Amino acid sequence: MTHYSAWSIVRNGLSGNRGWTRAWRDPAPKPAYDVVIVGGGGHGLATAFYLAKEHSLRNIAVIEKGWLGGGNTGRNTTIVRSNYMIPGNTMFYERSMRMWENLSQELNFNVMMSQRGQFHLGHSPAQMDGLRRRGNVMRAHDIDSELMDRAEVMRRLPYLDYSEKARYPIYGAMFQGRAGTARHDAVAWGYARAADRLGVDIIQQCEVTGYLRDGERICGVETTRGPIRAGKVGLAVAGHTSLLAAKAGLRLPIETHALQAFVTEPIKPFIDHVISSGAAHFYISQSDKGGLVLGGDLDGYNSYAQRGGLPEVEHTLASAMALIPSLSRLRLLRHWAGVMDMTMDGSPIIAKTPIEGLYLNGGWCYGGFKATPASGWCFAHTIATDTPHDDNARFTLSRFERGTQIDEKAAGPQPNMQ
Amino acid sequence: MIRLDCPVCGHRDETEFAYLGDATVRRPDPSITDPGTWADFVFLRDNPRGAHCEYWQHVMGCREWLIVNRNTATHQIDSCQLARSVFAGEATMAASS
Ligand SMILES: Cc1cc2nc3c(=O)[nH]c(=O)nc-3n(C[C@H](O)[C@H](O)[C@H](O)COP(=O)(O)OP(=O)(O)OC[C@H]3O[C@@H](n4cnc5c(N)ncnc54)[C@H](O)[C@@H]3O)c2cc1C
Ligand SMILES: [Zn+2]
């Protein structure tokens, strides 16, 4: 397998691009591994990579029922930011941001990290107070954040609706300059290739259907391609977390909900940053191909259907039009949905489970893409050492019964409101 | 668009309703002091793929609470009943058994 470089592009370009070799192997599952990770999304692949790289484990498999990145990793709006306020979240997401900044180099794969900056709009004096507080917490943790008033936002984002009768009046914004977007598929492929180079077996079209047990302990998985024994099993299956936990006898503080995203026909450069709005729960950015990528709220009821309903289409597009009236004549190219593992406090779980041999990475809600590097890194640490790292120490399963939820939105145990 | 057949108002769009979630979860007997029982009630859900029994409220109609049986993979609705009539039925069953 070749190392990618400017030189390899020139060399292969001159020889008609016939010299490229496949980016990762397609091995048949072995009878046993030290660690089996279930789920070939960004989180599962990153976990395998860091288990191999940081903890020198070599006998690892990632098992994916479909294709790599075919879950939420390949369906999300790719916003990467670290503007979280509650202890437990703040430094975890900042760890992730710092890892993103070097990820293309670390993986030798261009993940197209684009730190174009994110404006989070404030639509009332109270929201501006909230953003000032959040920004101050960030700055106290050495995370960049700027508060901008209405005049500054008007100068930077002249196309928003600033009129007297605007549905969402603009009072200002919180700006994180290091935030931005990355290419979702490249993240899955980059981690897959880098993990494969360290000997990780990546097995696609293989569904985990149950567990192998040694007494109470879990010692492997049943799959559609036969049983596979494992010293440890780690779950990273996003919206399907409850189903795989149920097979092990666990009930979780999770509901599965659908979230939709949209992309318009491509246009010339128009929106230079990521823009989000807390009032409308709406976010938009422009892809490198020119399409505007936008998304909104959950559909609002439990759903495993990877497609959404029309009311949320209307809501998202109405929000888009209310904030940026000049979008009115754009046509949508595609829209789709993913199924989210929504927790009862809106924060994730990276922890050992009460069942020996089983480790859980889940509950990412609609915000886990940005977490991919730190999630993989912390989950690998938890699996390899049997203790959490400081940065995921609060992402426990027991926090709910202990009353130490990390409820960034203060929405309470109502997943469709988180 | 999901359409619910409200026993009071008839077929209405989902946008008229608010959703609360799993209706098989029931408040434990208040005399139970075990915190685990209460934590389960507040936080843990079966979250099935397939048949799901759930609460909706017709907030923009009759304001009745409903118990709906819906498939979470296909969104097919199998039944939509007034919550109070379901509870009344359960109470009669309990009394007669
Ligand atoms: C529309 C949308 C927009 C979003 N926008 C953002 C955003 O802007 N920023 C952000 O940070 N996050 C965003 N997210 C959230 C983000 O996409 C997810 O949190 C993240 O990608 C989860 O990654 P993952 O690897 O855990 O899950 P996935 O990528 O879903 O991977 C899980 C994998 O497990 C596999 N699997 C499931 N069951 C089994 C089984 N039984 N056996 C084997 N394999 C199995 C699935 O096929 C899947 O490939 C968004 C999500 C959606 C849907
Ligand atoms: Zn009604």
Complex ipTM value: 0.95
With the most atoms of ligand 1 within 8 angstroms of its CB, the residue from A72, A99, A100 to mutate is A72
Question: Is residue B39 domain-resident?
Answer: no
Distance A396 CA to ligand 2 centre (A): 41
8 A C-beta contact, residue A90 and residue A84 = yes
Domain A26-78+184-254+345-411 bears CATH identifier 3.50.50.60: yes
- CA-nearest residue, atom 49 of ligand 1: A71
Contacts with A304 from chain B: Cβ below 8 Å? 49, 72-73
The residue of chain A with its CA nearest to that of B14 is A311
Cβ of A306 under 8 Å from any chain B Cβ?
no
pLDDT digits (tens, 9 = 90+) for A139-169: 999 999 999 999 999 999 999 999 999 999 9
> CATH number for the A115-178+256-342 domain, one of 3.30.9.10, 3.20.20.100, 3.40.630.30, 3.40.190.10?
3.30.9.10
The residue of chain B with its CA nearest to that of A402 is B39
d(CA A418, CA A399) in angstroms, rounded, equals: 17
The residue of chain A with its CA nearest to that of B49 is A304
pLDDT digits (tens, 9 = 90+) for A39-98: 999 999 999 999 999 999 989 999 999 999 999 999 999 999 999 999 999 999 999 999
Question: Is residue B41 domain-resident?
Answer: no
Beta partners for residue A214, in sequence order:
A217
- The number of beta carbons lying within 10 Å of the beta carbon of residue A190 is 27
Partner residue opposite A253 with nearest CB, options B21, B36, B43: B43
Instruction: Answer yes or no: do B44 and A252 touch at CB < 8 A.
Output: yes
Could you give the percent of chain B with pLDDT greater than 70? 100
Question: Is residue B86 domain-resident?
Answer: yes
pLDDT for B51: 98
Question: Is residue B77 domain-resident?
Answer: yes
DSSP state letters, B37-68: HHHHHHH-B---SSEEEEEEE-TTTT--EEEE
Query: Domain range holding B93?
Result: 1-25+51-97
User: Does the predicted model carry a pTM greater than 0.95?
Assistant: yes
pLDDT for B90: 86
Could you give the percent of chain B with pLDDT greater than 90? 90
Question: Is residue B40 domain-resident?
Answer: no
Count of A-B CB contacts under 8 Å? 73
pLDDT digits (tens, 9 = 90+) for A359-408: 999 999 999 999 999 999 999 999 999 999 999 999 999 999 999 999 99
Partner residue opposite B72 with nearest CB, options A304, A413, A414: A304
The B51-57 sheet, strands edge to edge: B18-22, B51-57, B65-71, B77-82
Could you give the percent of chain A with pLDDT greater than 90? 96
Distance B5 CA to ligand 2 centre (A): 8
Question: Is residue B37 domain-resident?
Answer: no
8 A C-beta contact, residue B30 and residue B38 = no
* Ligand number nearest to the C-alpha of B65: 2
d(CA A85, CA A104) in angstroms, rounded, equals: 27
User: Residue A139: in which H helix or E strand, if any?
Assistant: helix A125-140
d(CA A375, CA B25) in angstroms, rounded, equals: 32
pLDDT tops 80 at residue B97: no
Beta partners for residue A38, in sequence order:
A63, A235
pLDDT for A1: 59
Q: Which amino acid is at A16?
A: G
Q: What is the atom index within ligand 1 of the atom nearest the CA of A43?
A: 25
- The number of beta carbons lying within 10 Å of the beta carbon of residue B3 is 13
d(CA A299, CA A337) in angstroms, rounded, equals: 10
What's CA A237's distance to the chain center, in Å?
A: 12
Give the CATH number of the domain where residue B65 resides.
3.30.2270.10
pLDDT tops 70 at residue A253: yes
pLDDT for A278: 83
Residue B94's pLDDT band, with cuts at 50, 70 and 90, is confident
Instruction: Answer yes or no: do B40 and A415 touch at CB < 8 A.
Output: no
8 A C-beta contact, residue A38 and residue A235 = yes
pLDDT for A2: 80
Domain boundaries, chain A: 26-78+184-254+345-411, 115-178+256-342
Q: pLDDT averaged over chain A? A: 96
Tell me which residue of A358, A350, A399 sits closest to A376, measured CA to CA.
A350
- The number of beta carbons lying within 10 Å of the beta carbon of residue B82 is 17
For testing the chain B interface, which of A65, A242, A243, A302 should be mutated: the one with the most B CBs within 10 Å?
Answer: A302
Residue A128, SS3 per DSSP:
helix
Distance A239 CA to ligand 1 centre (A): 7
Distance A319 CA to ligand 1 centre (A): 25
Instruction: Answer yes or no: do A303 and B19 touch at CB < 8 A.
Output: no
According to DSSP, residue A57 is labeled -
Radius of gyration over alpha carbons of chain B, in Å?
A: 15
Does the CB atom of residue A335 touch ligand 1 within 6 A? Answer: no
pLDDT digits (tens, 9 = 90+) for A170-213: 999 999 999 999 999 999 999 999 999 999 999 999 999 999 99
Q: B7 φ, ψ to 5°? A: -60, -25
Tell me how many helices (H) and strands (E) chain A has. 11, 18
User: Based on the structure, what is the number of domains in chain B?
Assistant: 1
Instruction: Answer yes or no: do A255 and B40 touch at CB < 8 A.
Output: no
pLDDT digits (tens, 9 = 90+) for A286-337: 999 999 999 999 999 999 998 899 999 999 999 999 999 999 999 999 999 9
Question: Is residue B38 domain-resident?
Answer: no
